[in-house]
A = this chain, B = another copy of it.
Amino acid sequence: MKKLINDSDDVVDEMLDGMTAAYPDMRRLPDTQVLVRDDAPVDGKVGVVSGGGSGHEPTHGGYIGDGMLDGAAAGDVFSSPTADEFEELIAATDSGEGVLAVIKNYEGDVMNFETAIEMVEMEGTDVATVVVNDDVAVEDSLYTSGRRGVCGTILVHKAAGAKAAEGEDLDEVQRVAQKVVDNVGTMGMALTSCITPEKGEATFDLPEDEIELGIGIHGEPGTERTDVMSADEITEELTESVLDDLDLDEGQEVVTIVNGMGGTPLMELFVVNRKLQELIGDHGLETWDAWVGDYMTSLDMEGASITVCAVDDELKELLGAPADTPGLTVQ
């Protein structure tokens, strides 16, 4: 294994310091792996926070900034942050208006966020939650009861962050976050395994002539191994699975995301987007906005996921509202 790291034990710590060195609008809470807006808590605004294992960058710390997250807790690579860290995150981002916790559906994240919430509620902080479970590939998985939370989470961050930036209250911020959760689906695939810094070898074995459909973002198994397929065939498999699940009416407007898993050239993501947009049209749907890039990665894994989210006027306004973060800027 060759990686641009020092000691694998220090990689998250050093990454977080590298982030605050790049982005002076963020700061790290002392002796934690928690990043928050430098001006947190923001007076009069509901806080919006998230968190989870590291290795998915820019998720989640890269979405801290105006119009998205107030802060994020980073666990070790592919490991949940502790309840203590979630507690510090919520405390540091509550201005008195309450905090929305956006939780990807993994058992560790859910459990540790819930423990943290019990603690801060005893101190009088209002907390609302949404649990994102957009992965249509599998019911239950290695780390999950119910569906996994994957790239659709970014749209939840965006909509909730925009609503909070408007000065709306916690109930409203939670409502729009849940509205995204109710209208989004994602499915991913891998050409290659990821390699964690700690283990230093492939998390799973994927022969040179096979790919895995329905893969999770930690290298956990998908739905099916198949022979290598073309980009168009892969895009069709993923898109049809997502659209089957969403069951949208003709004429429905959608946001689409072609998300790279970390090691995939951007060139290939555009090749996928070309076919995706053709399929969206074939289904009588209308793309309101198409995102292409690395939004929620799995270290150096090569592969991609496709996300589709049905949008109405309210979600279009929120997803199109200004945001200024390292991982996503809308103006």
Please list the residues of chain A having a beta carbon within 8 angstroms of any beta carbon in chain B.
2-6, 11-12, 14-19, 21-23, 54-55, 57-58, 62, 191-192, 208, 211, 228, 230-232, 234, 262-274, 277, 290-294, 297, 299-300, 302-304, 322, 324, 326, 329, 331
Contacts and interface: CB of A to CB of B under 8 A. Distances in A.
A272 B6 CA distance: 10
A299 B267 contact: yes
Contacts of A192: 2
B270 A14 contact: yes
Given A6-B232, A15-B267, A57-B270, 13 more contacts: A3-B265, A4-B269, A4-B271, A4-B272, A11-B267, A12-B267, A16-B270, A17-B274, A18-B269, A18-B273, A21-B273, A262-B265, A265-B297
A267 B54 contact: yes
Contact of A55 (B11, B232, B265): B265
Contacts of A291: 22
B11 A271 contact: yes
A14 to B, nearest CB: 5
A268 B231 contact: no
Given A11-B271, A14-B271, A234 B4 contact: yes
Copies in the complex: 2
20 contacts: A2-B208, A3-B191, A4-B264, A4-B271, A5-B271, A14-B231, A16-B270, A18-B269, A18-B271, A18-B272, A19-B273, A21-B273, A21-B277, A22-B277, A57-B267, A62-B266, A265-B297, A267-B299, A292-B326, A329-B331
Contacts of A264: 4, 300
A72 to B, nearest CB: 14
Contact of A231 (B6, B274, B300): B6
Given A4-B304, A191-B2, A331-B324, A57 B21 contact: no
B304 A274 contact: no
Taking each of A4, A191, A297, A326, which has the highest tally of chain B beta carbons within 10 Å of its own beta carbon? A4
A262 to B, nearest CB: 5
A10 to B, nearest CB: 8
A211 to B, nearest CB: 7
B331 A268 contact: no
Nearest to A281: B21
Contact of A300 (B23, B54, B263, B293): B263
Nearest to A6: B230
Nearest to A293: B326
Contacts of A302: 2, 263, 300
A18 B297 contact: no
B231 A5 contact: yes
A302 B4 CA distance: 9
A265 B57 contact: yes
A5 B23 CA distance: 35
